[in-house]
Structure 1
Amino acid sequence: MPKLSLYFFPLLSFYLILLASTSVTSVDFPNTDFIKTACKSTRYQQLCFQSLSSYASSIKQDEKQLTQVALTVSLDNAKSLSTFVSNMVKTSGLKRKEYQALKDCVDNLEDAVNQLTQSIEEMGRATTNDFAWRMGNVQTWVSTALTNENICANGFSGGTMGGNVKVGVTKRVLDLSRVTSNALALVYRFVDKHKGHMP
């Protein structure tokens, strides 16, 4: 019997440690299937999942929370890019066309930031009675924000515009527009799922 205890207790201890680590893992890495399924409605599915999966613990299975987080991620990216481009305007050695394109881009990105901010606020105000109207506003504003982002990128198109400024800005604007496109798709998904009532 003493020999059995020598083998039994270490085995029991190992089992308890394994059970505890499994429990911690499930908390640290929440289920992301809900986000993965929602992202199938977007154009850039992998980017959608990458940008939202880290928020899985707060999103859970909440459609509205998922949509609001997607809008917030887009807004945060728009603010960051707006700051980046604003700083580029102040750099020396810019060509005249580069300077003008950057200034126009700053204006467009500031508009996009305002429109995304309005969208998040409007979605938070939506009730059962005014759901369709307020979500219509959200769809319009997010769509307009996406247009402004694309206008910013278009300012650097053409054969006469090249170099590091064009490459640095257009790549970042493209990334932002894809995030915003995904957010817009999730807004439409949310509206389609909850027409006529709040979740």
Structure 2
Amino acid sequence: MGSLAAIFILLLSIAHFSPPSHFFVSGDSTLIRKTCKNTTYYNLCMSSLKSNSSSFKADTKGLAVIMIGIAMTHANQTTRYLSSQLVSNTNDAVIQKVVKDCADKYSLAIESLQESLQQLDLMSSDYASVQVTAAKDYPNVCHNEYRRFPGLAYPAELAHREVQLEHMCDVALGIIDVLGW
């Protein structure tokens, strides 16, 4: 249970994520709209960024940071959901293993997203993109864990969360592409 405690501490710190102040400049909804047009999921981009008041003061780099933060929060919530499944689910060892492996994958997604923020701070958009892409792929590894055990159904709630994180990461990747460094 030591690793679960460490995960919970990490998750608590992420739950209160707010981008550093040096990512903000004077901006408006025009930049948000222009930036979101360059992403795969325009509506998700617009609704996500407009729901965060910091977006209206952010430059493009700041918008990327905010979107990555939103993806981190989502991955954090999914890890908590999976952890609650470990506690409340059956005592079936296979299910417990698969759920724990999935929680671990979402934790790795969070770590990748954190690393992408560091790369953005270093103005390294290529490495930031690599990290966001890794975060996008970790939920698929979780899905594959379920496939390894015939008869073990992939929960609809988890499938929904997987798709949401993938789309959030796609939006973040689109914003990072706009940076063009």
TM-score normalised by length of structure 2 = 0.74
The percent of aligned pairs where both chains have the same amino acid is 22
> What are the superposed Cα offsets for residues 128-163 of structure 1, whole Å, 9 maximum, x if unpaired?
xxx4xx32221111111111122223333486233x
User: Residue 125 of structure 2 aligns with which residue?
Assistant: 135
Task: Tell me how far 1:81 sits from its aligned partner.
Answer: 1.0
Contact 2:31 2:60 in 1 (8 A): no
Match of 1:179 among 159, 168, 173: 168
> What are the superposed Cα offsets for residues 55-81 of structure 1, whole Å, 9 maximum, x if unpaired?
255443611111111111111111111
> What are the superposed Cα offsets for residues 78-137 of structure 1, whole Å, 9 maximum, x if unpaired?
11111111111122326554333212211111111111111112322x2xxxx4xx3222
Pairwise CA RMSD of aligned residues?
2.3
Number of aligned residues: 154
User: Residue 64 of structure 2 aligns with which residue?
Assistant: 67
Structure 1 residue ranges, 4+ long, deviating more than 6 angstroms after superposition? none
| d(CA) in 2 for partners of 1:95, 1:171 | 24
Contact 1:112 1:146 in 2 (8 A): yes
Which segments of 5 or more consecutive residues in structure 1 lack a partner in the other structure?
A: 1-29
Give the 5 Å matches for 1:35-184.
35-60=32-57, 62-93=59-90, 95-124=92-121, 126=122, 131=123, 134-157=124-147, 160-162=151-153, 166-184=155-173
User: Residue 26 of structure 1 aligns with which residue?
Assistant: none
TM-score normalised by length of structure 1 = 0.68
Which segments of 5 or more consecutive residues in structure 2 lack a partner in the other structure?
A: 1-26
Give the 5 Å matches for 1:24-35.
31-35=28-32
Task: Tell me how far 1:36 sits from its aligned partner.
Answer: 2.0
User: Residue 27 of structure 1 aligns with which residue?
Assistant: none
Query: Using a 3 Å threshold, how does the CA distance of structure 1 residues 47 and 157 change in structure 2: closer, same or farther?
Result: farther
